[in-house]
Amino acid sequence: MAGLYVHVPFCAQACSYCDFHFTTKLGDRERMVDALIAELKGALPAWRDETFKTLYFGGGTPSVLGAEAILRIANAAFEGAQWALEEWTLEANPEDLGDAEVGRLREIGVDRLSIGVQSFDADVLTWMRRIHSVDRAESAILSAAAAGFEHLSLDLMYGLPTGGADRWSQDLTRACALPVDHLSCYILTAEPRTLYGRQLAAGQAVAPPDDTVVQEYDALCSRTAGAGFAHYEVSNFARAGGRSRHNSAYWNGTPYLGIGPGAHSFRNDTRWWNARSNAAYLKRAESGDFEAQRQSEKLSAVDRYNEALITGLRRIEGVSPADLLQQTGIGIESHANLPNLIKTGACEWVEGRLRIPEKRWPMGDAITMELMG
């Protein structure tokens, strides 16, 4: 089984925190759709022995293409490969989700929307340079539910340098009251190339204290649990049946094909990726030679072991020592740092699997580093 990811590198406006590959120059949208289809047609024959289970349109903001362009790309994917489709996700911003558009998206087969709300505080949205209003965010979610979307996910962000003392509590209250079955909640990180990163470097903004971020994380865990969400991955929470199947496949090591500028793929211990350049991607589409702008690497046993830890210890299930040994030939139980991590409560054994307790997940990257090969 495999997953297909399509990267749509367009946004209506650059947010203050975002470091994903995108452009706000929307004039090349039609050319990009043609290029995505061309790459699909060229790549899918090599995946004839795989059956795809999930389709995910990410970005950028895929919803800026509109339902008809999304359908054109999806049809090229469906026609070029074997499918047993279990989930079709589209990332979307509230400003693109009017009643007619959400109805059409549901009609063409999209069954899950991941909506970039980020906050329900108007001042915070302004600081983030988001272009939707609080009311627009809520009405988009309600429109999607009315159109028949049973699987709706919201993106929210905490650990911000702005907003009132109760901002995060209010965001959680509003999010948990909406008809959604999934929340993706991220700590804001300051990437150097972003506006926020530059503001911090210039002393124009001050990151919140670590204690404040931990308090917000604790509130997130308790409030979502009380609203019926299971915390199944560091940043992800789901009500019954609401887990992201596509992203869960990434964390389980399932093969996936990435299409579009900057997209990554993984299969048979090999990873490859397209250049983060729309111009280079469109140029190669015209010649039909996508390989010239790709890079790749073969993963060693140690690479695979480390990646299994990075993805596995982010999940509530943790990692299986037996599976690690079988897949990589490397055992974790004899790692020199493990006894101390168990003793200090940084890791724990649950039903024969090693995991990081929920309260320690904010420090999970540092803990995982202690166990890497």
Q: Tell me the per-residue pLDDT of 138-181, one tens digit each, with 9 for 90 and over.
A: 999 999 999 999 999 999 999 999 999 999 999 999 999 999 99
The per-residue DSSP string of 280-293 comes to HHHHHHHHT--GGG
Please name the residue that has the structure tokens 């309600």: 142
Determine the Cα–Cα distance for residues 2 and 52; give it in Å rounded to an integer.
5
Signed CA dihedral, 231, 237, 243, 244: sign only: negative
254-280 confidence digits (pLDDT tens): 999 999 999 999 999 999 999 999 999
Determine the Cα–Cα distance for residues 37 and 31; give it in Å rounded to an integer.
10
Reading the block at residue 80, the tokens are 């070029």
For the ranges 54-58, 189-193, 212-216, 279-283, the lowest mean pLDDT is seen at: 189-193
Is 19's pLDDT higher than 90? Answer: no
Return the H-helix or E-strand segment holding 153: strand 151-158
Contact by Cβ (8 Å): 61, 93? yes
Is 199's pLDDT higher than 90? Answer: no
Q: Average pLDDT of the chain?
A: 95
Determine the Cα–Cα distance for residues 281 and 290; give it in Å rounded to an integer.
7
Is 76's pLDDT higher than 80? Answer: yes
327-346 confidence digits (pLDDT tens): 999 999 999 999 999 999 99
Compute how many other C-beta atoms are within 10 angstroms of the C-beta atom of residue 25: 10
Domains in the chain: ranges and CATH: 2-250 (3.80.30.20), 301-369 (1.10.10)
Q: Measured at the alpha carbon of residue 167, what is the angle toward residues 166 and 170, in degrees to the nearest 5?
A: 85
Name 295's bridge partners: 273
Determine the Cα–Cα distance for residues 55 and 206; give it in Å rounded to an integer.
39
Question: Could you tell me which residues come within 8 angstroms of residue 87 by beta carbon, excluding any fewer than 6 positions away?
Answer: 53, 54, 55, 56, 111, 112, 151, 244, 245, 246
pLDDT of amino acid 245: 97
Question: Could you tell me which residues come within 8 angstroms of residue 348 by beta carbon, excluding any fewer than 6 positions away?
Answer: 342, 354, 355, 356, 357
Reading the block at residue 180, the tokens are 């959604």
pLDDT of amino acid 18: 86
Pairing verdict, β 82-92 and 112-118: parallel
Q: What percent of the chain has pLDDT over 70?
A: 100
Name 152's bridge partners: 113
Q: Which amino acid is at 197?
A: G
Reading the block at residue 262, the tokens are 């900057």
Confidence grade of residue 241 (pLDDT, cut at 50, 70, 90): very high
The CA–CA distances, whole Å, from 12 to 122, 199, 325 equal: 18, 22, 46
